[in-house]
Amino acid sequence: MPVTSAIEIQQKAIQVLQADADKILKLIEVQMKNLTMPQCPLYEEVLDTQMFGLSREIDFAVRLKLVQEDTGKRILQELERKLSELNQLYQEQIQK
């Protein structure tokens, strides 16, 4: 296994987590653009599963002290904010 420095590992950890968060963000945005389609419960489950997976990755990185707890929380909170925005749009859609 190639030896890298602890600093490099920490930087890579943030990059990987952010890349995974961005993938989920894209899923949410795709869903937002397709609001005219009927709400698909499977889609919600996919998002839930992806969020859970990411939270486990973040938790693991925090336990290894690769990422600060606050940084990890911020990544998740940003996604949760976006998700609740999506749910808000759905509610408005239903009421129309």
Interface residues with its own copies (CB under 8 A)? Answer: 1-10, 12-13, 16, 49, 52-54, 56-57, 60-61, 63-66, 68
- Least distance between its own copies and beta carbon 17 (Å): 8
Backbone angles phi, psi at 5, to 5 degrees: -85, 160
Do the Cβ atoms of 86 and 31 come closer than 8 Å?
yes
Compare residues 25 and 71 and give the one whose CB is closer to its own copies.
Answer: 71
Q: Give first-to-last CA distance, the chain, whole Å.
A: 58
- Lookup: tokens for 68: 């600060």
Least distance (Å) between residue 64 CB and its own copies: 5
Shortest reach from residue 76's CB to its own copies, in Å: 14
